[in-house]
Chains A and B, each alone.
Chain A
């Protein structure tokens, strides 16, 4: 007897990989591929994803996947897209999925080149705000005041003294058709954004907040909760930009004070316990308030 269709398709990113318990990135990848479908080639730079998904002889990838080096995923993706054009295989789409270190920092030149050339690539940055693969060092995506192993909090330090690089705005300034931010805490929204991006052509960018229990240091069953708090505090605004203009934002029903988000993560503990850090704590709250105002996040 033929099997009844269950309505469920086999996952394109299967279990058995080596991600940490509660990894926001692994969750994101599975849902990204549910939204793209199987007619894609995925390019990843060096990073957590490459390390936990590609131990030689094993692979959770059920789509063609290529890792080359750390700083060239956008250019590799451009090359793949060029080859697909040359071979008249354009129905196969190219998706790059990389971490914030590869995207904000070391691969930024390569990313900018890809965006400026208008190559047909959906670039997805899984942003956990530091170099997790090497133990949590500061990146251009590390939020203000977060402690990292290369910019720790200490007797004379309150962690990162600079703001997070505003990469979605920088990407949008290249004149690309689609930019969005998403969070693993809102998977329906995330998948809808990936699907939307797949209907468009040219360079597209989605930045996904992917909480990291191992380095942010919170219990691994709270990944989605941490994502929700980030979004609802205003620190992680979720929006969509079509041709450089905000076309949609995720409204907040209740604004959560940033302290509720910060206090659950070790990387912000110095803001919570130190009297001397009151000013910095206020500055973080002001940043959230600015986001709420800028993106009109309150319903």
Chain B
């Protein structure tokens, strides 16, 4: 009998982490991540989860504790959000560089200032270049499933990098959804115990975190890049295994929704995709050829899947819940950089949308589609990123 329950997204994540049998969990509170680490703490307190639970004094130390534990050969986990993820930044770069395969839940929340605790993707996008693999999820179910995949991806000998599962704060962490859980034996078969080739071992002492000069540093950095780019095939393989295990389709690094004959293709990440899919269905009923590409794996960037999915489209509209100040949104820049120079590619227009929890509803999605169509048929070059739903009256 399948174990199906209606649970809070945070609980789904905690249950996934528990099923992965981590040795070490480090926790520092920040909204909206708290329910995840509180649920794990209860599991430890009740004896349901046999893990070392380290209550640290900052996110900097949370990331450091899991780095130390990972180096010592233990499967390790932490979670954070927003400012906490930024505080971890230096540690995460170093941990990717030292090839430490722990898992973090990156609960998406806006970045100060102004201080705000609502969802956008500025926090995790700021870690884009760190060498941490990033998976973005749309639902509590996907959050559960992706945490199982995350440990397996991280620990694959060909990858050995931290993996961050990015999930929208409140929208996913605090809403209740139907989630189907795997039994422990199935998870154990999917994810065997962590047995790294290298770890801190007195019988075989090794030196970790060396000083590297200009004669080898580029090669170190390239090896991380290569583990990511070549790792895409490994991630696809693990996603296919997960699909077979769960019966839910995780076949790709992107999810292409009704893009087959689409003239307008929207691109988005995270829970926003749910609203967009509804809007796409509505517009399809009206005869508009619209589709959605939801990027699940953002780093490494799955440009092959993306290029294939936009073939034949007239215009691509990217919804970026982040912005690189003075330029455009990160996903828009990625999409453009991978399409430019290819024959017959569609115009790409970037929309900055949903910052600080600003609602992106189906009316907004329709507006994006209208504006994208108008701009692409205007004969003018693509504009710089359009800020959706901006109120000019209150811009100083």
A interface residue numbers (CB < 8 A to B): 38-41, 43, 50-51, 54-57, 59, 61-69, 71-72, 74-87, 92, 109-110, 112-113, 116-117
* A40-B202, A65-B205, A68-B67 known; A83+B74 contact, CB < 8 A: yes
Q: Can you give 30 contacting A-B residue pairs, CB < 8 Å? A: A50-B209, A54-B209, A55-B213, A56-B213, A61-B205, A63-B202, A68-B95, A69-B91, A72-B60, A76-B65, A76-B68, A77-B68, A78-B54, A78-B68, A79-B54, A79-B64, A80-B71, A80-B72, A82-B54, A82-B68, A83-B71, A83-B73, A86-B52, A87-B72, A87-B74, A109-B58, A113-B56, A116-B57, A117-B54, A117-B56
Instruction: Evaluate contact between A86 and B205: CB separation under 8 angstroms.
Output: no
Counting residue pairs across A and B whose Cβ atoms lie within 8 Å, the total is 156
Residue B76 at the chain A interface, CB threshold 8 Å: yes
Least CB separation from A89: chain B residue: B72
A71 neighbours in B (Cβ, 8 Å): 60
A50 neighbours in B (Cβ, 8 Å): 209, 211
Instruction: Evaluate contact between A55 and B211: CB separation under 8 angstroms.
Output: yes
Instruction: Evaluate contact between B64 and A75: CB separation under 8 angstroms.
Output: yes
CB distance from A250 to the nearest CB of B (A): 32
* A41-B72, A76-B64, A79-B76 known; A64+B202 contact, CB < 8 A: yes
State the CA gap A181–B237 with chains docked (Å): 56
Instruction: Evaluate contact between A110 and B64: CB separation under 8 angstroms.
Output: yes
Instruction: Evaluate contact between A67 and B205: CB separation under 8 angstroms.
Output: no
- Chain B interface residue bracket vs A: 35 or more
State the CA gap A69–B74 with chains docked (Å): 20
Which of B71, B94, B201 is A69 in contact with, Cβ under 8 Å? B94
Instruction: Evaluate contact between B23 and A83: CB separation under 8 angstroms.
Output: yes
B218 neighbours in A (Cβ, 8 Å): none
Residue B69 at the chain A interface, CB threshold 8 Å: yes
Residue B207 at the chain A interface, CB threshold 8 Å: yes
B94 neighbours in A (Cβ, 8 Å): 68-69
Which of A38, A56, A82, A109 is B210 in contact with, Cβ under 8 Å? A56
Residue B384 at the chain A interface, CB threshold 8 Å: no
B213 neighbours in A (Cβ, 8 Å): 55-56
Instruction: Evaluate contact between B200 and A72: CB separation under 8 angstroms.
Output: no
Least CB separation from A63: chain B residue: B205
CB distance from B84 to the nearest CB of A (A): 14
Instruction: Evaluate contact between A87 and B205: CB separation under 8 angstroms.
Output: no
Least CB separation from A51: chain B residue: B211
CB distance from B35 to the nearest CB of A (A): 23
B202 neighbours in A (Cβ, 8 Å): 38-41, 63-64, 92
Most chain B CB inside 10 Å of its own CB: which residue of A40, A63, A72: A72
State the CA gap A119–B76 with chains docked (Å): 17
State the CA gap A40–B203 with chains docked (Å): 10
* A56-B213, A63-B205 known; A80+B68 contact, CB < 8 A: yes
CB distance from A92 to the nearest CB of B (A): 5
State the CA gap A65–B57 with chains docked (Å): 24
Binary contact track B210-229/A, C-beta < 8 Å → 1, others 0 = 11110010000000000000
B68 neighbours in A (Cβ, 8 Å): 43, 66, 68, 75-83
- Tell me if B's interface is mostly helix, strand, loop or mixed: mixed
Least CB separation from B50: chain A residue: A86
Most chain A CB inside 10 Å of its own CB: which residue of B54, B200, B201, B212: B200
A76 neighbours in B (Cβ, 8 Å): 64-65, 67-68, 71
Instruction: Evaluate contact between B208 and A82: CB separation under 8 angstroms.
Output: no
Instruction: Evaluate contact between A64 and B64: CB separation under 8 angstroms.
Output: no
A117 neighbours in B (Cβ, 8 Å): 54-56
Least CB separation from B74: chain A residue: A83
Given contact pairs A80-B72, A83-B74, A109-B58, a sample of 15 additional A-B residue pairs in the complex whose CB atoms are under 8 Å apart? A41-B200, A54-B209, A55-B210, A61-B207, A63-B205, A66-B68, A68-B94, A79-B69, A79-B76, A80-B69, A82-B69, A87-B74, A109-B61, A110-B58, A117-B54
Instruction: Evaluate contact between B57 and A113: CB separation under 8 angstroms.
Output: yes
State the CA gap A117–B95 with chains docked (Å): 23
What 8 A-B pairs have minimum CB-CB distances, sorted nearest first? A79-B68, A113-B57, A75-B64, A83-B72, A67-B209, A83-B74, A86-B23, A75-B61
State the CA gap A92–B58 with chains docked (Å): 27
Instruction: Evaluate contact between B24 and A83: CB separation under 8 angstroms.
Output: yes
Instruction: Evaluate contact between B74 and A86: CB separation under 8 angstroms.
Output: yes
Which of B65, B95, B209 is A78 in contact with, Cβ under 8 Å? B65
State the CA gap A40–B201 with chains docked (Å): 9
CB distance from B87 to the nearest CB of A (A): 11
State the CA gap A285–B343 with chains docked (Å): 80
Residue B188 at the chain A interface, CB threshold 8 Å: no
State the CA gap A66–B212 with chains docked (Å): 14
State the CA gap A22–B261 with chains docked (Å): 74
State the CA gap A252–B26 with chains docked (Å): 46
A113 neighbours in B (Cβ, 8 Å): 56-58, 61
Residue B285 at the chain A interface, CB threshold 8 Å: no
A79 neighbours in B (Cβ, 8 Å): 24, 26, 54, 64-72, 76
Residue B90 at the chain A interface, CB threshold 8 Å: yes
Least CB separation from B93: chain A residue: A69
Binary contact track B27-64/A, C-beta < 8 Å → 1, others 0 = 00000000000000000000000011011111011001
CB distance from B244 to the nearest CB of A (A): 31
B72 neighbours in A (Cβ, 8 Å): 41, 79-80, 83-84, 87
* A41-B72, A80-B68, A117-B55 known; A75+B205 contact, CB < 8 A: no
CB distance from A61 to the nearest CB of B (A): 5
Instruction: Evaluate contact between A78 and B61: CB separation under 8 angstroms.
Output: yes
A75 neighbours in B (Cβ, 8 Å): 56, 60-61, 64-65, 68
CB distance from B359 to the nearest CB of A (A): 38
State the CA gap A174–B179 with chains docked (Å): 45
CB distance from B160 to the nearest CB of A (A): 16
A66 neighbours in B (Cβ, 8 Å): 68, 71, 200, 208-209
B364 neighbours in A (Cβ, 8 Å): none
State the CA gap A59–B26 with chains docked (Å): 31
State the CA gap A41–B70 with chains docked (Å): 14
B208 neighbours in A (Cβ, 8 Å): 64-67
State the CA gap A78–B53 with chains docked (Å): 11
* A54-B207, A75-B65, A83-B69 known; A112+B57 contact, CB < 8 A: yes
Instruction: Evaluate contact between B211 and A56: CB separation under 8 angstroms.
Output: yes
